[in-house]
A and B are shown apart, each in its own frame.
Chain A
Amino acid sequence: MIKEFFDKIRPHVEEGGKFHAFRSLFDGFETFALVPNTTSRTGVAIHDAIDSKRIMSFVVIALIPALLVGMYNIGYQNYTLAGVEAGFFEMFAYGLVVMLPKIVVSYVVGLGIEFVVAQWKNEEIQEGYLVSGMLIPMIVPVATPLWMLGVAVAFSVIFAKEIFGGTGMNIFNPALVARAFLFFAWPTWMSGDKVWVSTSSVMGLGCNLPDSFTCATPLGDAASGIASTVSPMEMVCGLMPGSIGETSVVAIAIGAAILLLTRIASWKTMGGVFLGGVLTALLFDAVCSPENMVAHLGLNHLWLGGFCFGAVFMATDPVTGCRTEKGKYIYGFLIGALAITIRVLNPGYPEGMMLAILFMNMFAPLIDYCFVQRNINKRAKRVAKR
């Protein structure tokens, strides 16, 4: 039935048709809804059942648990901090109406630019934005205004992706570039203690909190030397202030399981990140002076902030990460280690995960180069011996 629908539209968008300008749009939706049945006609080709569009869809599916918990958490924070009793569905619905506009803005702006570029370059629309568009609203604080999100999305799609040649060519993870842009452009909106809880009621749901209301993330608290009041249980479930999708370790773990079972994400990178994080956290716990609160969070580092989210959804990005198998361990390990190091040693950046991943994105090709070169040398020696 879907196929008939597309077949009916096709003549209009083909060469000479009335709506030729929307060709890339049509093509994008058609291949999104149906698996393309074009196969190579010449030469030998190895077929895999999974193409990049399917990979993207799986990542989006893996993100859904974290998204749902994030929505619930928006409502939970709002109602709890206002001191109002509310049922599960009220909290969730409030989170939904707060969250939905962000997702819509992210997709409309991002895909809009992608469509324009695809049309302009006369190429097929690239599907890479499906994942980024979901990630970006999930890694910003709840109180980020929509226009700010739109500007950041436009910036990252143009300057982190399209100028490098589009999906698959980018050096940096576009979602993280969007967040980094926001972080440096409007620092007061992206950190501190005013942005983590949605304070106004929308469509009759939720409560209005006073303007002077503040609530910092546990990491932000630790950075300013306050003992956090969030219990470990709350940290794991995700009922604490933080960026929308990053708070719940359980939900992220479900996503991680999906990604690992379908072998979309590499367990080597993911494991490397956690190993690096654990070792560095323990190291700082052992050697730092007792005044530095962040250093003594110890293993709590792993549940706080964007560590898990970054490790599972950002570090494992196949485009910006390492491609050599051994390189993945090193790449992951250094991300974990750097993230904790930035958190502990730089009080200006309570959250180090974003900068750590962007930094290692830059070094991933170098790591790959070293391993490839080592392999070449090894084989050259083996040949020479013979």
Chain B
Amino acid sequence: MSLFSSANKEVLTGPLNLNNPVVTQVLGICSALAVTSQLEPAIVMGLSVTVITAFANVIISLLRNTVPNRIRIIVQLVVVATLVTIVSQVLKAFAYDVSVQLSVYVGLIITNCILMGRLEAFAMMNGPWESFLDGVGSGLGYAWILVAVGFVRELLGSASLLGYEIPFLSDCAFFHNGMMTMPAMALIILGCVIWAHRAINKE
């Protein structure tokens, strides 16, 4: 089977749109609400999850035939926890400010439903390359929702993007909407994203 056969492409692009983990499967909502008050932590969080899902998928897929069925969850957790610790240390070393903003949510990637879901549903049954693509696809599917929500929240909540103030908008009170910086509004925006997504893809 070639590396980018149509089946593999489907594995990669499915989670970006029709089978999106956040919008369609409604997983990982908690962290999506917590880290999206600004764009930068949202991007970093999305990339972290992508990296961890991809590599956890690869490792579990390599181990899948040797792991006894009864202890598979523990093995998965150990693998995920190792990866999360690595990512967390890397963030602390190279992007300290963002890791402070993300605080506990990097550690909580371990409990992210998307991650465990992909390991259980995909990596346990497929080869490493397919699993890698699936991990990247799911992670990016999660990431783009986070970025979309983070974009709206930062723009309307503090009139800036990635921490840079937008010159003309910042004088206008409309772009300092305190509600946008609260998790409650993130839930409503996420609801709107789901609404738009389902309106576009009527399946």
Query: Could you mark each residue 136-180 of chain B with 1 if its beta carbon is under 8 Å from any beta carbon of chain A, else 0?
Result: 000000000000000000000000000000000000011011111
Residues in A whose Cβ lies below 8 Å from that of B180? 185
- B182 located at the interface, meaning its Cβ lies under 8 Å from any Cβ of chain A in the complex: yes
Query: Could you mark each residue 144-170 of chain A with 1 if its beta carbon is under 8 Å from any beta carbon of chain B, else 0?
Result: 010110010000000100000000000
Q: How far is the CA of A151 from the CA of B185 in the complex (A)?
A: 14
Q: Report B178-203 residues with CB < 8 Å from chain A CB.
A: 178-180, 182, 184, 188
Chain B interface: which size bin? Answer: 10 to 19
Q: Is A181's CB under 8 angstroms from B173's CB?
A: no
* Residue on B nearest A189 in the bound complex, by CB: B173
Chain B nearest CB from A259 CB (Å) reads 32
Residues in A whose Cβ lies below 8 Å from that of B188? 159
Residues in B whose Cβ lies below 8 Å from that of A185? 177-180
Q: Is A151's CB under 8 angstroms from B174's CB?
A: yes
Query: Could you mark each residue 184-221 of chain A with 1 if its beta carbon is under 8 Å from any beta carbon of chain B, else 0?
Result: 11110100000000000000000000000000000000
Q: How far is the CA of A159 from the CA of B180 in the complex (A)?
A: 15
Q: How far is the CA of A189 from the CA of B179 in the complex (A)?
A: 13
Q: Is B173's CB under 8 angstroms from A184's CB?
A: no
Q: Is A148's CB under 8 angstroms from B179's CB?
A: no
Q: Is B173's CB under 8 angstroms from A148's CB?
A: yes
Q: For chains A and B in complex, what number of residue pairs have CB atoms within 8 angstroms?
A: 21
Q: Is A186's CB under 8 angstroms from B182's CB?
A: no
Chain A nearest CB from B73 CB (Å) reads 37
Chain A contact residues: over half helix, strand or loop, or mixed?
helix
Q: How far is the CA of A144 from the CA of B126 in the complex (A)?
A: 59
Q: How far is the CA of A331 from the CA of B133 in the complex (A)?
A: 54
Q: How far is the CA of A181 from the CA of B188 in the complex (A)?
A: 12
* Residue on A nearest B176 in the bound complex, by CB: A186
Residues in B whose Cβ lies below 8 Å from that of A184? 178-179, 182, 184
Chain A interface: which size bin? Answer: 10 to 19
Q: How far is the CA of A200 from the CA of B184 in the complex (A)?
A: 35
Residues in B whose Cβ lies below 8 Å from that of A187? 178
Chain A nearest CB from B199 CB (Å) reads 12
Residues in B whose Cβ lies below 8 Å from that of A148? 173-174
Q: How far is the CA of A137 from the CA of B188 in the complex (A)?
A: 24
Q: How far is the CA of A292 from the CA of B50 in the complex (A)?
A: 52
Chain B nearest CB from A92 CB (Å) reads 30
Chain B nearest CB from A102 CB (Å) reads 17
Chain B nearest CB from A148 CB (Å) reads 7
* Residue on A nearest B179 in the bound complex, by CB: A185
Q: Is B174's CB under 8 angstroms from A147's CB?
A: yes
Q: Among A145, A159, A186, point to the contact of B177 (Cβ < 8 A).
A: A186
Residues in B whose Cβ lies below 8 Å from that of A145? 173
Looking at B177, B180, B182, the one whose CB has the most chain A CB atoms below 10 A away is B177
Residues in A whose Cβ lies below 8 Å from that of B182? 184
Residues in B whose Cβ lies below 8 Å from that of A189? 173
Q: How far is the CA of A187 from the CA of B176 in the complex (A)?
A: 10
* Residue on A nearest B172 in the bound complex, by CB: A147
Chain B nearest CB from A194 CB (Å) reads 13
Q: How far is the CA of A148 from the CA of B178 in the complex (A)?
A: 13
* Residue on B nearest A180 in the bound complex, by CB: B179
Q: Among A147, A151, A159, A186, point to the contact of B178 (Cβ < 8 A).
A: A186
Chain B nearest CB from A116 CB (Å) reads 15
Q: How far is the CA of A148 from the CA of B182 in the complex (A)?
A: 18
Chain B nearest CB from A227 CB (Å) reads 30
* Residue on A nearest B182 in the bound complex, by CB: A184
Chain B nearest CB from A40 CB (Å) reads 36
* Residue on B nearest A151 in the bound complex, by CB: B174
Chain B nearest CB from A41 CB (Å) reads 37
Q: How far is the CA of A185 from the CA of B176 in the complex (A)?
A: 8
A-B contact pairs, 8 of them (CB 8 A): A145-B173, A148-B173, A148-B174, A184-B179, A184-B182, A185-B177, A185-B180, A186-B176
Which A residues are closer than 8 A to B by beta carbons? 145, 147-148, 151, 159, 181, 184-187, 189
Beyond contacts A181-B179, A185-B177: 4 other A-B pairs, Cβ-Cβ < 8 A, are A148-B174, A184-B178, A186-B173, A189-B173
Which 5 residue pairs of A and B lie closest in terms of their CB atoms, listed nearest first?
Answer: A185-B179, A185-B177, A184-B179, A185-B178, A187-B178
